[in-house]
Structures are given as structure tokens and as C-alpha cells.
Copies of this chain bind each other. A is one copy, B any other.
Amino acid sequence: MRICDLGEQELLRRLQHFCPTDLIGDDAALMAVSPNHRLVVTADTMVDGVHFSWGIANPDLWTMTPTEAGWRVAAANLSDIAAMGARPLGITVSLSLPPNSLWADIEAFYRGMVACLTPFHTPIVGGDVCRSSVLTVAIAAFGEVLPDQAIQRHQAQPGDAILVTGYHGSSRAGLALLLHPDETTDLTESDRQSLIQAHQRPHPRLDVIHQLRQLEGNMGQSFRVAGMDSSDGLADAVLQICRASQVGATVDRTTIPIAPVLQRWRSPQDALNWALYGGEDFELVLTCEMAIAQAIIQHIGPPATIIGHITAQPDVVLIDPNQPSWCGRLSLAQGFQHF
């Protein structure tokens, strides 16, 4: 049996048999270190030609420079830390390099990582370098969180509001512009750049976690928040939360925040598809009691929005108040598969 016959989901399912079941299923593992602290750990690998088109071979095909690749890998890992409600402590970086790699590219990659990490006071604390025929970057990131402030997928409850912290679809739109640079659009250069930046320089929403802590302080109480990040798409996030919590959801498609520039550029259907399935927006998708969700939205400010609510029945449906007879169903099938 080869890995490509198994498929990614089945491979992951089999590998998870080697992990304690209480540690897996979230954006990062959550481990008790001392009674009052939880360690949060996540790992990510990026392979040249799979996750980014970088490498000495084809600079013409780069959809992002080494600096941008560095930023993105750091952002993806910090986003996983944010998705757990945690404070980042550091990352390790292990590089597998073809011997003819250019130092200038490696340095630019590190500069990109550091540029993303520095605002969050997160150091690169070590790693490893070795020789390989394929440029591969393996990152582990770790953070800490108080036990009752950890955000996990399995704690959504019927009646919870579902909120998202920002625009969806922009990253996918930016990728489309990078992949088809010669396609004519009505976009201004500044519009184009805003979408490309959403793809190349996503911002991990650790600021939202900081604001949640502020809000808890203001309200004099802590509150239950479930959720994850939308790195694999907004639809995927809602579905994963529902599956982990054994609940369903109703999402109002007219409320999903989509950047005005994307709304102007593409048809409503295209924009919605990218918002739901495009992935890599690195926003947070959170569920909590409606009153808390409203307070969070108000504290964070637009474009953070409540997009629906959790239901007891297990279906995950998309509705449109303007077309009461229309009903869609979110599906994982459109997600990216590695094998």
C-alpha cells in the first residue's frame, strides 16, 4: 500500500494512532507543563515546488520571493499559536538545502521570518541545517496559555455565535493575480497589491488574542471560546469545529466579510467560493455565546463579523436571507489534498 493510494486523510488518521488522542485534533497540541500552564506546540513543513515556488531552478516561476516565503511560514505557525489562544514563545527552523542554494536566498528567507516574528517578540531559538536535493523548511512553534484560556475546536455549543476576525478570499485572489500576471483586470495597481499582500504577507491574528484577554479584563470574567484558524479555508474551519464539537452550523452567506476590492473584481459567486474554500487567509473562526461574540466584534472592530450560529442538528448549511428558498451545504471536498 503506497501513500498515494491511502490519501492524506487516511494517512493522517493512521499516524494519529501513534499520538495520545487527547493531544491531537487542534491547530496545535496542548500539554500540561505545570498546573497553571499549558504548552502549545505545532509543526509545519514547506517543500520547494509544493508549498512555494522557490528555488534556484526557476526564479521566473516564483509566486513569492524568499523573503515572502519566510514571512508566510512564520505567519502560518504564529497563526496556529493564535488559534489556540496562546502567547508565542519561539520557533525552531530546520533547513534541508541543496548544496548549490544561494546564501542570499537563505538570508532573505530568514529576514522574512524575522520581519513577521519581531512584532510578536518571538525569537528563532534554534534548528538544524542539512543537505538534501530538495529545499525543505520544517518549523516547530511553541507558545503558552493558561488552562482556561485555551481555544479548542471541540468546545462549540448549540446557540453559539460564529464569528470571523477578518476578510476571507483575499489570499486566494492574490494568488490568482500572481499566477496570471498578464490577465487584464479592472483593478488599480493599489487594489492588485492589496490582494497580493494578503497572499504574501498574511498577518497572524495574535492581536485578537491580546484583545480577548483585554476584554476578559474589562468584563471581569473569562469566557469559553472555541475555534481555529482559517488557514485551510473558512468552510473547512466551520466544518472542523462542528465535527470536533458534534454540532452543526448555519452560516449566512451574505455576512461573510469579503474585501471590497474583491467584491468589485469578481462575481459574487466567485468571491464567495474563494472566501469559503480559498484558504490561507489566516483569520480566526471562533464560536461563543452570542452576547460575548457581540462584545468581541465590537472590541475588535470591522471587518470582524458574526456569520452564523451553531446548531444541535449536525448539518452545516449556508443560507441567504434574500433568497429564503435557497440553501447550500459546506463541503470539505474542495480542500487541498497533499497526496
Contacts and interface: CB of A to CB of B under 8 A. Distances in A.
Interface string A31-50: 10110110101111111011
A305 to B, nearest CB: 30
Contacts of A114: 18
Given A132-B134, A140-B92, A125 B338 contact: no
Contact of A126 (B2, B28, B106, B134): B28
A19 interface: yes
A128 interface: yes
10 contacts: A1-B103, A3-B100, A15-B127, A20-B125, A34-B37, A39-B89, A45-B128, A45-B136, A47-B96, A94-B140
A270 interface: no
A326 interface: no
Interface string A217-230: 00000000000000
Interface string A120-147: 0001111111111110101010101000
Given A2-B99, A45-B96, A128-B43, A123 B23 contact: yes
Interface string A1-21: 111101010011011001110
B131 A134 contact: no
Contacts of A15: 106, 110, 127, 129
Given A45-B96, A92-B42, A125-B41, A133 B130 contact: no
Given A3-B103, A43-B94, A103-B3, A339 B24 contact: no
Nearest to A2: B100
A339 B101 CA distance: 11
Given A3-B99, A43-B93, 12 more contacts: A1-B102, A11-B106, A18-B110, A19-B124, A24-B126, A28-B126, A43-B126, A43-B140, A47-B130, A129-B338, A130-B338, A138-B138
A128 B51 CA distance: 13
Interface residues of A, number: 72
Interface of A: 1-4, 6, 8, 11-12, 14-15, 18-20, 23-24, 28-29, 31, 33-34, 36-37, 39, 41-47, 49-51, 89-90, 92-104, 106-107, 110, 113-114, 123-134, 136, 138, 140, 142, 144, 338-339
Nearest to A36: B34
A316 B2 CA distance: 52
